[in-house]
């Protein structure tokens, strides 16, 4: 029983990481209207900027992470403006396929600059804490805390600020938003900054809890997609619920079946959910 509870607890941590990784993806989908496959590569970029500054240049962890998040946010903005903006008239399917090309370019650059092999940050080893027979490391606690802070501050941002409300208006109905005087271009830029910044944050978390290799990003896109579909490409809250469901389901499954099947479980959940609710958790009437 304790073991099962332990897996569930680890699942919550996995879920929190997935939430961080998926919010930006889902935000891009809502405002820009397409699935950005290259989102996962942004996680990789951020993780390796953190690694480069921390392990190679010898900076302390926190400034490295901060620089990585900001750099990733602006890289995302630049890609959005240079690559995706001029192509918007071609429709979401073409943009989706284009993002595969962007992912190729980014992955290729990371391979060329960094090369293969496993890397790790120059940070102290994780310390385990025990309570009621359950273990949790300090880094895992940081992940959960970051996800919670991000969730709350993003919810506040979306509901209380002008830009946040503009983003929500754009995602609900772009034409109506534009006709009501919302600056579409500026809102789109804000979205790219926020979405890519969140990818950067998720990348830092990834660097913290996982061993780094250049193909790490691709492995994340699968899980991000799983969470995003389950959430119905919908609101912030459904992403949080879906992230936790997928995370817990994946880690709990290890109790009964070999760990190699974890990614498979993520998609089993998704396919089951789609069979019951074809529009995802958020249950919008139209896809």
Partner 1 sequence: MNLVQLFLAVVMFGSLFSVLTLSLNLQYARGGMINFGTVAYFAAGAYAYAIVTQEPPSGLDQYLVGLHGPWWAGFLAAGVAAMAFAVLTGWPTLRLRGEYLALTTFAFAEMLHSLLVNERRIGNGTVGLANVERPDPGSLGLPDAWTYAGAAFVLMLATALVFRHLLASPYGRAIDAVRDDEGAAEAIGKDIARLRFEVFVISAVPIGFAGALYAMITTLVSPDLFTAEVTFFVWIALVLGGERTILGAVLGTMALVGFQELVRAIPFESVRAAEIAAAGEDIVTGVLFILILRWQPFEAMMKRRRAA
* Residues at the contact surface with partner 1, assessed by CB under 8 A: 34-35, 83, 86-87, 90, 92-94, 96-98, 100-112, 115-116, 218, 222, 225-226, 228-229, 233, 258, 260-261, 263-264, 267-268, 270-271, 274-275, 278, 287
Q: Which residue's CB is nearer to partner 1, number 60 or number 283?
A: 283
In the complex, least distance from residue 14 CB atom to partner 1, rounded to whole angstroms: 17
In the complex, least distance from residue 261 CB atom to partner 1, rounded to whole angstroms: 6
| Among 143, 265, 201, residue whose Cα is nearest residue 27 | 201
Two tokens, residue 203? 């990348």
Q: Which residue's CB is nearer to partner 1, number 139 or number 218?
A: 218
d(CA 247, CA 219): 15
In the complex, least distance from residue 222 CB atom to partner 1, rounded to whole angstroms: 6
Q: Which residue's CB is nearer to partner 1, number 5 or number 87?
A: 87
- DSSP E strands, the chain: 128-131, 134-137
In the complex, least distance from residue 199 CB atom to partner 1, rounded to whole angstroms: 18
Q: Which residue's CB is nearer to partner 1, number 135 or number 277?
A: 277
Whose structure tokens read 């912030």? 236
> Residue 255: left (phi > 0), alpha (psi -120 to 50), or beta?
alpha
CB atoms within 10 A of CB 271: 13
Q: Which residue's CB is nearer to partner 1, number 14 or number 163?
A: 14
Two tokens, residue 180? 């009501």
| Among 138, 161, 139, 150, residue whose Cα is nearest residue 240 | 150
In the complex, least distance from residue 96 CB atom to partner 1, rounded to whole angstroms: 6
| Among 178, 190, 184, residue whose Cα is nearest residue 154 | 190
């Amino acid at each position: 029983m304790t073991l099962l509870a332990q897996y569930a607890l680890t699942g919550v941590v996995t879920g929190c990481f997935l939430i961080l990784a998926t919010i930006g993806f889902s935000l891009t989908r809502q405002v820009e209207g397409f699935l950005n496959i290259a989102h996962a590569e942004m996680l990789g970029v951020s993780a390796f900027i953190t690694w480069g500054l921390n392990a190679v240049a010898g900076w302390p962890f926190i400034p490295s992470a901060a620089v990585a998040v900001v750099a990733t946010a602006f890289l995302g903005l630049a890609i959005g403006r240079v690559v995706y903006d001029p192509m918007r008239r071609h429709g979401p399917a073409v943009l989706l396929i284009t993002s595969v090309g962007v992912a190729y370019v980014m992955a290729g650059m990371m391979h060329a600059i960094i090369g293969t092999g496993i890397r790790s940050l120059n940070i102290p080893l994780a310390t385990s804490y025990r309570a009621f027979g359950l273990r949790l490391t300090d880094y895992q606690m940081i992940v959960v805390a970051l996800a919670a802070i991000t969730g709350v501050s993003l919810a506040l941002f979306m509901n209380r600020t002008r830009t946040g409300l503009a983003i929500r208006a754009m995602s609900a109905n772009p034409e109506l938003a534009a006709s009501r005087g919302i600056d579409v271009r500026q809102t789109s830029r804000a979205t790219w900054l926020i979405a890519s910044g969140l990818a950067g944050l998720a990348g830092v978390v990834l660097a913290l809890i996982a061993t780094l290799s250049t193909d790490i990003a691709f492995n994340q896109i699968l899980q991000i997609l799983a969470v995003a579909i389950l959430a119905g490409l919908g609101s912030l809250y459904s992403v949080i619920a879906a992230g936790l469901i997928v995370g817990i389901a994946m880690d709990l499954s290890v109790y009964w079946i070999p760990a190699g099947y974890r990614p498979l479980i993520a998609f089993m959940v998704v396919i089951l959910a789609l069979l019951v609710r074809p529009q995802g958790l958020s249950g919008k009437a139209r896809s």
